[in-house]
Structure 1
């Protein structure tokens, strides 16, 4: 994930989970950890701003070519259902008053979706 707006603009955001500390959102600038926030304790709100699911032109083209034959249709249907690209933006407000916006993709969404209201 990447911070695209706010106090930590341009930094990378990573969610780290551990049994001892729970889930922590770390903001990293270059190779150093700039700031860490516990997701359940330090956050005031995490609001979903935008979420888009789509297929690329190349995916549509492959699905169209595969759908010509019966065997290809069997491959094209799961590709259509599970091959979507996902992009999202989340506005984060912390209890210490910091605000920033995070942008991520499909693999990041799986980690953060349970914390977004």
Structure 2
């Protein structure tokens, strides 16, 4: 038994690696977006929006690092570091599109980034 850490930077690489283990062709597309992990930094988001963003990511198994003053909105704005798989981002994007504030705009920007991954 051998272990190997794979560096999978994009969906194409994910599909190639899954194909190498002889997975069924139908499963390749289903699994590929779970293989690619992306960390994206967002600057100057209102703490109110950041709290919503963090809740949405956590509900999908992802994570968002925010200022310690975000939870109580002591600061007006925070930078955020979003962490998740392409699949998690896709699920969060769906939810952000129906949220208030500037979260639908953020959803569009994230969608563009994810499309190029």
Asked which structure has the greater CA Rg, the reply is 1
The structure where strand makes up a greater share of residues is 1
The structure where helix makes up a greater share of residues is 2
What TM-score do you get using the length of structure 1 for normalisation? 0.31
Higher RCO, 1 vs 2 (CA within 8 Å, ≥6 residues apart) = 1
